[in-house]
Structure 1
Amino acid sequence: MHIDQEVSQEAKKLIEASILVAEEPINIGFLKKLFAGQFEHNHIQQWLQELQQDWQGRGVELVEVATGWRFQTKAEVQDKINAVNPEKPPKYSRAVMETLAIIAYRQPVTRGDIEEIRGVAVASNVIRTLEARGWVEVLGHREVPGKPALYGTTKQFLDDLNIHSLSDLPPLMDLQENPNEVALTLSLEDAVDSELKIQLDEANLNDITLSSEAT
């Protein structure tokens, strides 16, 4: 279906405005409903890509994350904003960050799996902290006596990492070779809705074995 230039421009304006005012990422399914099914998936995808180009060179960029599309401040600009922001990012314990790393790379895993990899017991508040932040959820239960919960990461975790899927995580080999250099940056929201950052290198992945033999 051919769409003339004027219609395309009006459609892009509506898409742009919808994403700008949205509190959460907007997916193509929502945008199709916005146009009452008038345009196909490929048309909307093309307009999103054109909007990405339109916003290049500015302090804000249009990006696709796990749950859809959103506008966000570019990293180099956000760093300068954070420099004058007196708020400190939340600090998570080493146990929390190690547990998150294990779940991210070895999911689905049980609490017992995590304890076997870390070599120490996992406190209940560690899992609760990750669940409360929206990064981890129960995906199911393992069919063994006791049916322990199987944990995995959420789409919110991917969104906060600013990645589209788990395949976009840094290769595990890189983390093992450069445990003190590779950081997974999570965008966090504080009480005033500013984006803050925390790095997984606090977990010191050199001290834990993310072995493919873990069960």
Structure 2
Amino acid sequence: MGRVEATIFAASEPVGREALARIVGKSCSIDLLIDDIREELRGRPYDLIAVAGGFRHLTRPAYADAIRAAVGSSEKAVNLTQAEVLVLMCVAYFQPITRGELSSFFGKEVSRDLIGHLRGAGLIASGPRSPTPGAPYTYVTTKEFLLEFGLDTLRDLPDFEALEDAGLLSKEKLLAGEIMPELAGGHEDVGVDIEE
């Protein structure tokens, strides 16, 4: 347990199961070790979290204000427009997806600048070339996307229909163009900050 916890603690990136298996041997159950470590951390201000295909020590959200008060914020915020958030959501749910497919989905052209901003933030990357005529590039989410949103895998994304049921997403408004008038290039900031 100590070797696994120390390795995860010292790593700057999430540590995958393969790396942990090299430390403790393939016959040892990584899941049981992680469960035991989590049990020991109960009540502590940090926990061991599965994120981006590996494990990482993270402080509990209840201590965020205290940490900011003591050491300030080292976060570099990326402001995303409403259009960028929705395009990022579509890439996450329907990847790999081309810019043309995104444009068809929204009923208006998705600008290259919008895609460039998401790429520059490290949230999306080029995927495999599409098998459609012209072999356009596709876009996929990145490991950075998983890290920023605290997801272990894309399976951890909220259920699409549950978002609609909760009133957080309206497919009809989205397809009617009522949600993203600035899609083709405007940059109305909706105040979504992504930690880098």
Q: TM-score range by the shorter chain?
A: 0.7 to 0.9
- 1:73 partnered with 2:59: yes
Distance 1:114 1:83, change over 3 A: farther
User: Pairwise CA RMSD of aligned residues?
Assistant: 2.6
2:182 corresponds in structure 1 to none
Gaps of 5+ in 2: 176-196
Distance 1:78 1:205, change over 3 A: farther
2:107 corresponds in structure 1 to 119
Instruction: After TM superposition, list the pairs within 5 Å mapping 1:39-118 onto structure 2.
Output: 39-40=25-26, 42-82=28-68, 85=72, 89-118=77-106
For 2:153, give the aligned amino acid. Answer: S
Q: 2-side partners of 1:171 and 1:159: how far apart?
A: 19
User: What displacement does 1:171 show?
Assistant: 0.9
What SS does the aligned partner of 2:87 have?
helix
- 1:150 partnered with 2:138: yes
Cα deviation code 1:169-214 (max 9, x no counterpart): 111112223344x8xxxxxxxxxxxxxxxxxxxxx877414xxxxx
2:17 corresponds in structure 1 to 28
What SS does the aligned partner of 1:70 have?
strand
Runs of 4+ in structure 1 off by over 4 angstroms are 82-88
Q: 2-side partners of 1:68 and 1:92: how far apart?
A: 27
- 1:18 partnered with 2:7: yes
User: What displacement does 1:104 show?
Assistant: 1.0
Q: 1-side partners of 2:173 and 2:128: how far apart?
A: 29
Q: Percent identity?
A: 28
What SS does the aligned partner of 1:92 have?
strand
Cα deviation code 1:97-156 (max 9, x no counterpart): 111011111222110111112222112122122222222122211222211112121233
Q: Which has the higher contact order (CA 8 A, sep 6+)?
A: 2
Distance 1:27 1:88, change over 3 A: closer
Cα deviation code 1:10-60 (max 9, x no counterpart): xx112111111111011121123334xxx2254333212210111111110
Under a length normalisation based on structure 1, what TM-score does the superposition of the two structures give? 0.71
- The count of corresponding residues between Structure 1 and Structure 2 is 174
Instruction: Tell me, yes or no, if the aligned pair for 2:129 and 2:138 is still in contact at 8 Å.
Output: yes
1:164 corresponds in structure 2 to 152
- 1:176 partnered with 2:142: no
What SS does the aligned partner of 1:91 have?
strand
Instruction: Tell me, yes or no, if the aligned pair for 1:55 and 1:61 is still in contact at 8 Å.
Output: yes
Gaps of 5+ in 1: 1-11, 183-203, 210-215
Q: 2-side partners of 1:94 and 1:136: how far apart?
A: 16
